[in-house]
Amino acid sequence: MAASAFGFGGIRFSKTIPLSKYIPPLQPHHNNTFFSFFPSSSSSSSSSSSSSINFSTKPLPMSHHKHLTINGDEQNIIKPSPLFVDDYHNIDQQLLDNIAYDALVWASLHGLLMGDKSYQKSGMVPGVGLMHAPFSLFPTSFPESKWKQACDLAPIFNELVDRVSLDGKFLQESLPRTKQVDEFTSRLLDIHSKMLQLNKKEEIRFGLHRSDYMLDEQTKSLLQIELNTISSSFAGFSTLVTQLHRYILTCHGKLLGLDSEKVPANNAVSQNAEALAKAWSEYNNPRAVIMTVVQAEERNMYDQHFLSAVLRDKHGITIVRKTMAEVDQEGEILPDGTLSVNGQAVAVIYFRAGYTPVDYPSESEWRARLLMEQSSAVKCPSISYHLVGTKKIQQELAKPGVLERFLENKDDIAKMRECFAGLWSLDDSDIVKKAIERPELFVMKPQREGGGNNIYGDAVRDTLIKLQKTGSQEDAAYILMQRIFPNISAAVLMRNGGCHKDHAISELGIFGTYLRNKDRVVMNNQSGYLMRTKISSSDEGGVAAGFAVIDSVYLT
């Protein structure tokens, strides 16, 4: 989208007029600095390699100003150049420095913070070793039509998760080979099997989901990366980064040629909190609490505490945080099925842990997971919802005719199939052969969440050949997925207090909230979004894992 230049046409100058008269001023620390908006020689090329930026508040030399003659007198005037939304590397260096400084101040004042891993207690004690969460300094462009497509898909995927979760036979029969070679998935399936044997019915079914997409540059298609059904994180931080970007563009948008209204509103944290509150209400025990299941060390605790704060302040609900080991030590199921932890009845169990094998270092954690599943508490997610989010089930649902097993609406089915990327089992010898020949076109994915687990490039070929030579059944632990090649854009990334220019790709996540009580659908909504951006040379994309930054959308 072309940006319009910001000029001073029609104004009669009798002296040099401060730019702050027309644009919201920066904070006092800038010491009346004037800014140039012409690209400097050091940052004019978007093809340069990654670079860091040092903050400076020195006044610009007058040579950076344009000159205007009015009534015979030469006057100084700052005239900005037009900017395109993906041309962030061409922003004048000093303007960039000052925007970055203000963004870091804003992040600190508004709680866009994580624990700094260099501090030993930063993941255990709140307020110790704080560092701003990694974020993009400016929003990333995204076609409005594809944005609407992603949002419209959220309620359909919510309903699909619920329908598939009720088909215990499908879940068990889709994952038997995976169970043989993947101990983690096997243990989850064992718990699911026990619930089937007990004929345990989840009358209140609740999900906080996030469906992640990339926009394929060649086909211009919106393609799904994965569907997250457990610990769908960053509702709090994504809301804050959207607010930060709107603030930046409100202050500087005219100079940059960008409109803050093009950044769509994002109320993910309040909408996720509202869903948790409604699940608590459906449980119908006003003395019960919501229990967040957390990892023993969690540098991302502040994103979780945002939800807790909204639940407490807006909905008046008590939230407790427990590790699975603590649930095992303090938990019991009362005769009526109520889960009691440390003497408190639990209405809703919200999992922000339990999605990775490292969360189960001993049998204590597995006992806790089974105990919680056997209780009457509302689970977010239940064991069946959790299994629906595995990569193998994603691959099974992409097979011809499978969606028709769960959905009746042909338009909904067509919409879902349109966003499915290529997904294959490793027992498909033709696909395996193609992946060995052209590994750069595929990604190998295990049944894992959290970032840092996928296999790319030559490692795909090496892994497949190794599996073929050994003749093991370990191939059942993986699926093959079409590799998506999104647009690469110029980005400015904020990490560890530094401002870095780089070339990046982005992934859009759409939150969905779903709540059903028996036959009554209480809620089925699209509930905010998460944009994540990473340097284009990085294969992995987790923010907490250190690969990506939090971003927002600029609609084009």
The binding site comprises 210, 226, 228, 230-233, 298-300, 304, 352-355, 391, 445-454, 456, 481-484, 507, 532, 534, 540, 543-544
Assess whether 449 carries a catalytic annotation.
yes
User: Which position among 262, 391, 501, 516 bears the catalytic label?
Assistant: 391
Is residue 228 annotated as part of the catalytic site, yes or no? yes
Of the residues 168, 450, 542, 546, only one is catalytic, namely 450
Strands in 315-450 per DSSP E: 319-322, 331-333, 339-341, 344-351, 378-380, 423-425, 442-446
The residue annotated as part of the active site, out of 322, 445, 501, 516, is: 445
Identify whether 450 is a catalytic site residue: yes
Extract the tokens encoding 113.
């913070």
CB atoms within 10 A of CB 315: 16
Rounded CA separation 326/85 (Å): 49
Query: CA–CA separation, 392 vs 283, rounded Å?
Result: 32
210 noted as active-site residue: yes
Q: Out of 159, 202, 226, 282, which one is annotated catalytic? A: 226
Distances (CA, A) of 556 to 2, 44, 231: 10, 23, 31
CA pair distance 544, 307, nearest whole angstrom: 17
Query: Which has the closest alpha carbon to 19: 230, 252, 292?
Result: 252
Annotation marks residue 146 as catalytic = no
- The answer to whether 532 is a known catalytic residue is yes
* Distance of alpha carbon 340 from alpha carbon 333, whole angstroms: 6
Dihedral over Cα of 29, 34, 38, 39: its sign: negative
Annotated binding site for ATP: 226, 391, 445-454, 456, 481-484, 507, 534, 540
Q: Phi and psi of 194, rounded to 5°?
A: -65, -40
For 398-466, strand residue ranges (E) read 423-425, 442-446
Q: List the catalytic residue out of 449, 487, 489, 501.
A: 449
Per-residue tokens: 545: 């894992």
Closest listed residue to residue 2, CA positions, set 88, 78, 86, 95 = 86
Cis check: omega of the bond before 381, within 30 degrees of 0: yes
Known binding-site positions for substrate: 210, 230-233, 298-300, 304, 352-355, 532, 543-544
Q: Are strands 378-380 and 344-351 parallel, antiparallel or unpaired?
A: parallel
Q: Which of 146, 179, 205, 210 is catalytic?
A: 210
How far apart CA 319 and CA 413 sit, in angstroms, is: 38
Q: How far is CA 524 from the centre of its chain?
A: 20
The DSSP bridge partners found for residue 344 are 341
CA separation for the pair 529, 238 (Å, rounded): 7
- Count Cβ atoms below 10 Å from residue 95 Cβ, excluding itself: 21
Q: Which of 36, 136, 228, 487 is catalytic?
A: 228
391 is catalytic: yes
What stretches of 17-125 show up as alpha helix (H) in DSSP?
93-110
C-alpha 280/C-alpha 378 separation (Å) is: 8
Other CB atoms closer than 10 Å to residue 334's CB: what's the count? 11
Between strands 489-495 and 498-517, the pairing is antiparallel
Structure tokens that stand for 515 in this block = 């709540």
Active-site position among 270, 382, 532, 552: 532
Instruction: Select from 337, 345, 336, 354 the least CA-distant residue to 450.
Output: 354
Q: Which residues carry a binding-site annotation for Mg(2+)?
A: 226, 228, 449
> Residue 453: beta bridge partners?
none
Q: Is 105 helix (H, G, I), strand (E, B) or coil?
A: helix
User: Which listed residue (122, 233, 308, 376) is catalytic?
Assistant: 233
Q: Distance between CA atoms of 379 and 354, rounded to whole angstroms?
A: 12
- Residue 324 one-letter amino acid: M
Active site residues: 210, 226, 228, 233, 391, 445, 449-450, 532
